Amino acid sequence: MKTRIADSRNFAYLNWKQVDALPRDRTLLILPSAAIEQHGPHLPLATDTLINNELLGRALDLLTAEAPVYALPPVCYGKSNEHLGFPGTLSVSTTTFIAVLRDLGASLSAAGFRRVAIFNTHGGNNSLVDAMARDLRAEFGMRTFTIFGSAGANFEGLNPQERTYGFHAGEVETAFLLATTPELVDTSAYTANYIASIEHKSLLAHENGAANFAWLTRDIAASGVMGDPRPATAENGERWLTTAAKRIAAVIEEILEFREPTSSAGA
């Protein structure tokens, strides 16, 4: 698969002598996690992985050349069982996903590295990534961080309905790929579907609600799309990619400056 990561930032392009020369206490290794899964009839299975690679590559390009940051090879397969039933989806189990992250963390710890950030761009992985970041901290004493999606970047021009419920193969993901790999977008196959409307408030939600309900894509979206890709443009995609990359770069810079919080005894 093509990579947007600069050769100088690609951990896998180093030899072991070069790795051994890296400062263990300061070097930050970023582990991308994503998915290979259906993204409707108009986007490729690799959408989450392609977006991860593009965002991370752009963010790393914004860092100073001296910043000790390297991208690890991505974990392309994720927990995507919400999309099972759609041909092409390749999902791993919860136990497999966390075992892979744990074993990679063990390898890095054995080599003496202390700082790892997991950069995840597949929603189905979110809870597992959070859990594993803490487990790596507890088991190996590593300082671990998590970065999700666009790191909270605000995309100007996105309507409120799409901002809230356009979370899979909708306008943003489609715009990202129109800007970067337009040959992989079938603009004749757009479909729109929302899991809910912002006009109807409910305590139950697909996520981040007062209470959440478990869902499978085939229950709520026959096309596999949750959002509306029709307004997507390459121009917006480029603009939003730039915004997100700046945000992610700022997060990485803060991670590089992070120091352990000072504990204080209770009264």
Q: Where are the domains of the chain?
A: 9-257
Given a cut of 60, whether residue 74 has pLDDT beyond it is yes
Asked whether residue 110 carries a pLDDT value surpassing 90, the answer given is yes
For a pLDDT cut of 90, what percent of the chain falls above it? 88
Range 179-202 average pLDDT: 94
pLDDT value, residue 121: 98
Predicted pLDDT of residue 100: 98
Query: What pLDDT score was predicted for residue 260?
Result: 78
**Which residues touch 211 (CB under 8 Å, ≥6 apart)?**
203, 204, 205
Separation CA 152–CA 93 (nearest Å): 28
Given a contact cutoff of 8 angstroms between Cβ atoms, the answer to whether 135 and 94 are in contact is: no
pLDDT at 261: 76
Percent helix / strand / coil, the chain, rounded to 5 = 45, 15, 45
| pTM confidence score | 0.95
Q: What is the model's pLDDT at position 267?
A: 46
**200 or 178, which is more confident:** 178
pLDDT computed for residue 263 by the predictor: 63
Residue 266 has pLDDT above 60, yes or no: no
Average per-residue pLDDT for the chain = 95
Res 265 pLDDT > 70: no
Q: How confident is the model at residue 16 (pLDDT cuts 50, 70, 90)?
A: very high
Query: Quick one: pLDDT band at residue 207, thresholds 50, 70, 90?
Result: confident
- How large is the average pLDDT for residues 187-196? 95
Confirm or reject CATH 3.40.50.10310 for domain 9-257, answering yes or no. yes
Angstrom distance (rounded) from CA 152 to CA 138: 27
How much is the pLDDT for 194?
94
Residue 129 pLDDT exceeds 70:
yes
Span 44-69, pLDDT tens digits:
999 999 999 999 999 999 999 999 99
In this prediction, residue 208 carries a pLDDT of 78
Residue 184 pLDDT exceeds 70: yes
List, for residues 17-42, the tens digit of each pLDDT value.
999 999 999 999 999 999 999 999 99
Q: Which pLDDT score is estimated for 10?
A: 98
| Distance set, CA 132 to CA 78, 98, 128 (Å) | 14, 7, 6
Residue 124 has pLDDT above 70, yes or no: yes
d(CA 256, CA 127): 24
